Amino acid sequence: MNNFSRIGFILAAAGSAVGLGNIWKFPYITGEYGGGAFVLIYLIAVSLIGLTIFIAESYIGKEARVNAADAYQIVSKSKNSSWKFAGFQIVTGIVILSFYAFIIGWILNYILISFTGFPNDIQKAENLFNNLVTKEIGKQILFHTIVTLTVAYIIVKGVKEGIEKLNLILMPLLGLILFGLLIYSFTLDSFSKALEFMFMPNWDKVNENSILAAVGQAFFTLSLGMAIVITYSASMDKKTNFVKSSIMVAVVDTAVALVAGIIIFAFLFSAGAKSTAGPGLVFISLPLIFSTWGIFGQIVGCAFFVALLFAGITSAVSLLEPPLMYLMERYKVSRVKGTILCSLFFYILGIFALLSMSEDFGKFLTFFEKNLFDWLDYLTSSIAMPISGFITCIFLGYFVDQQELEKKFTIHINKIVFKIWLALIRYIVPIAIIILFLNKLGIIK
């Protein structure tokens, strides 16, 4: 069989988890919500909510050993086919890929810029980013095409030769670059200030929104609710301790987020820059600081964006495998044909999404005051992902044979840990998701 090796699974799942969410999003929301206290809430959200669902998805995939659309059905052991609808998660993943791909394209642009030098005043740095997003359509489409072809090429080669090998190479390199950047940030005077910002709780800026942001980020960062963990676990070796593997992935993902945060805040504070720049933190504030370090800044900046690129590519690949596996199993299409079909879909949708942010075409692609890009992001992150997570909790918590569940879990972990997990999946996590969901829809504040 074309299965992952034990370490291959952990690497691939970590490759999916470690992405733009860790290096770009986690630092900027930590900045916005005031640092240490938010980090603490985030750690609780990842270990209680994120990890619980991760273990659940891994169990479903490992037991079913098929594509995510049929997995719930098989694990439920009922003839009733209503669980098939849980497979809509596959669509969520490929829609996310449509915009994830051109954002990786932006990173390619910044890697090229590192060769010639970063913008050296705030106006230039802002213009550079804004022009790229709103004016340079041809350039964006070119990068989007390169990213699409790369991802498709890796996926065509299969789980072992494509995905596992890619992660085997890129993940250690990513670790190495981040380690190097961490050492460098350690030499800056601002290092201790960054540590203090990240780990000394300051409760002033904490409100219910920080909790919601932390829970949302816990979902996104572990690639949950998109059939990814289910799909990868279906190719997991049968004897693998899926609970232990899940914990390892969550630990790696958290470590990368914390390290990225320390590096970025040390860089920002060294120049006296603010921590609250929002999404522009990495694409506007950081390049500005790199420009003040001369040629050395170009090297550090290049390394930083290459790390971001590697993190992004391994995540993008993980978004394509679930729909492909579905097409191959359900409609018996070949791997090559399936890849072409799925890639065309996200490629074209991605072009419309990037056009929706442009000056010239934006107005044709804006509906009810949200452009297409914002709609895709909203429908996936705020609607589809929490619904999927909720379904997974209810499914394992109430609709599968609990004795069998206990038997399968306690092969690997002791009974008390299983009971804790069960309480989380039955009560605590679904309730937390409902609150998050209603709040995002604006029904409760």
* Local structure of 367: helix, strand or coil: strand
- Identify which of 300, 248, 245, 246 has the alpha carbon closest to the alpha carbon of residue 270: 300
Taking the C-alpha atoms of residue 170 and residue 154, their distance in angstroms, rounded to an integer, is 13
At its nearest, how many Å lie between ligand PHE and the CB of residue 219? 9
- Identify which of 235, 312, 266 has the alpha carbon closest to the alpha carbon of residue 58: 235
DSSP state of 269: H
Binding mask 212-241 for Na ion (x = CB under 5 A): ---------x--------------------
Pairing of β 366-367 and β 370-371: antiparallel
- Can you name the residues that pair with 367 across neighbouring β-strands? 370
Taking the C-alpha atoms of residue 111 and residue 89, their distance in angstroms, rounded to an integer, is 33
Taking the C-alpha atoms of residue 358 and residue 371, their distance in angstroms, rounded to an integer, is 10
Q: Does 96 bind ligand PHE (CB under 6 A)?
A: yes
CB 21, CB 204: distance < 8 Å = no
Dihedral angle over CA of 408, 412, 416, 418, nearest 10: -40
Taking the C-alpha atoms of residue 349 and residue 94, their distance in angstroms, rounded to an integer, is 10
Q: Residues 256, 285, 219, CA angle at the centre, nearest 5°?
A: 35
Q: Does 20 bind ligand PHE (CB under 6 A)?
A: yes
Alpha helix positions (H), 18-121: 20, 26-32, 36-45, 51-64, 68-76, 89-116
Helix (H) or strand (E) holding 121: none
Stretch that binds Na ion, among 14-22, 142-150, 204-212, 330-338 (CB under 5 A): 14-22
CB 349, CB 68: distance < 8 Å = no
Instruction: Please list every residue from 312 through 331 that binds ligand PHE, using CB under 6 A.
Output: 315, 318-319
At its nearest, how many Å lie between Na ion and the CB of residue 14? 9
Residue 442 structure tokens: 């604006």
Q: Does 177 bind ligand PHE (CB under 6 A)?
A: no
At its nearest, how many Å lie between ligand PHE and the CB of residue 221? 4
Instruction: Please list every residue from 216 through 245 that binds ligand PHE, using CB under 6 A.
Output: 220-221, 223, 226, 228
At its nearest, how many Å lie between ligand PHE and the CB of residue 369? 26
At its nearest, how many Å lie between Na ion and the CB of residue 119? 28
Q: Does 17 bind ligand PHE (CB under 6 A)?
A: yes
- Identify which of 167, 237, 166 has the alpha carbon closest to the alpha carbon of residue 2: 237
Stretch that binds ligand PHE, among 20-28, 57-65, 148-156, 293-301 (CB under 6 A): 20-28
At its nearest, how many Å lie between ligand PHE and the CB of residue 93? 6
CB 370, CB 378: distance < 8 Å = yes
At its nearest, how many Å lie between ligand PHE and the CB of residue 223? 4
Among ligand PHE, Na ion, none, residue 16 binds (CB under 5-8 Å by kind): ligand PHE
Q: Does 53 bind ligand PHE (CB under 6 A)?
A: no
Residue 132 structure tokens: 């790229």
Please work out the total of residues on this chain that contact ligand PHE, with binding judged by CB under 6 A. Answer: 15
Q: Does 21 bind Na ion (CB under 5 A)?
A: yes
Sign of the alpha-carbon dihedral angle for 160, 56, 94, 172: negative
Among ligand PHE, Na ion, none, residue 96 binds (CB under 5-8 Å by kind): ligand PHE
Q: Residues 106, 110, 116, CA angle at the centre, nearest 5°?
A: 150
CB closer to ligand PHE, 185 vs 223: 223
Among ligand PHE, Na ion, none, residue 315 binds (CB under 5-8 Å by kind): ligand PHE
Among ligand PHE, Na ion, none, residue 287 binds (CB under 5-8 Å by kind): none
CB closer to Na ion, 22 vs 76: 22
Stretch that binds Na ion, among 17-25, 48-56, 83-91, 421-429 (CB under 5 A): 17-25
Among Na ion, ligand PHE, none, residue 302 binds (CB under 5-8 Å by kind): none
15 burial type by CB count under 10 A (0-12 exposed, 13-18 middle, 19+ buried):
buried
Question: Which listed residue (11, 14, 22, 177) binds ligand PHE by CB under 6 A?
Answer: 22
At its nearest, how many Å lie between Na ion and the CB of residue 21? 4
Q: Does 388 bind ligand PHE (CB under 6 A)?
A: no
At its nearest, how many Å lie between ligand PHE and the CB of residue 31? 17
At its nearest, how many Å lie between ligand PHE and the CB of residue 307? 13
Binding site residues, ligand PHE, CB under 6 A:
16-17, 19-22, 96, 220-221, 223, 226, 228, 315, 318-319
